[in-house]
Structure 1
Amino acid sequence: MFPNSPSGFSPDTSGFDFLFSVFPYLFVLVFLLIVGSLLFRGARYAKNAASPRQSAFVKVVAKRTRVEHHSGTPSFTDEHFTSTPSHSHTYYYITLEFEDGERKEFLDVKGLYGLVAEDDTGFAAVQGDWIVAFERTAAPSYYS
């Protein structure tokens, strides 16, 4: 009860006390997750960028895409409803088979996805987890 309250009303604030005691920890956790994700992406990019470029005769055995969609966040004002725009990003992957039978999937960072087809053969330049070039040629006898 509030000491000077004429009606005797005493609000229950225990739920808010719990929320305010947990919020700083949740804020720090979300902040660390975001920073960790950015550091991981940056480290992966640096690893691929620093990798030596290698060229080999290959066969394109598969292609796939992965779409990431990020929705907008709504906001309300007294006059109207607004929303930040949503966006998506498509990642393109090409799976190559090397002469020794090994297969590996590479992220297309140079726009080659639409220029190659499954069963194409040729020389591919790869750098870490990226495919950076592809030159189509006739298949040798071991791919026939």
Structure 2
Amino acid sequence: GKYLESRAKRQTASAIRALEALRPERAVRLRDGREEEVAIAELRLGDEVVVRPGERFPVDGEVLDGSSHADEALITGESLPVPKAPGDKVTGGAINGEGRLLLRTTALGGETVLAKIIRLVEDAQAAKAPIQKLGDKVSPVFV
């Protein structure tokens, strides 16, 4: 039981690190018609963010201008790129395809979809599965 638990914790920690690596540290904010590179922590809800082709979406947002496709495979499991156009939602951590997009920030920090996924994985890792509990109960009999 303890071996399985330890192995599961290592795998979960690895998965959490992989998810955290999807979060960019910087973004390009559009303010007064000028682009400025800022730390993600400096962004506020409603800020307009520019995402160039091939970049990860730094925040959850709504497309204001442009069209592209988003590779959301690592977040949603969707195997094909998803078309994005004005009015569509994007998830922070996904990869922008071929077009330049202007977004309005709709979620930051712990409120993003990616942060919620990480929290769910951490919570699941902290709770013991029923089979682990059973293994802990019966293992003393065999040891």
Normalised by the length of structure 1, the TM-score is: 0.26
Q: Which has the higher strand share?
A: 1
Q: Based on CA coordinates, which of the two structures has the bigger radius of gyration?
A: 1
Greater relative contact order structure (CA < 8 Å, 6+ sep):
2
Q: Which has the higher helix share?
A: 2
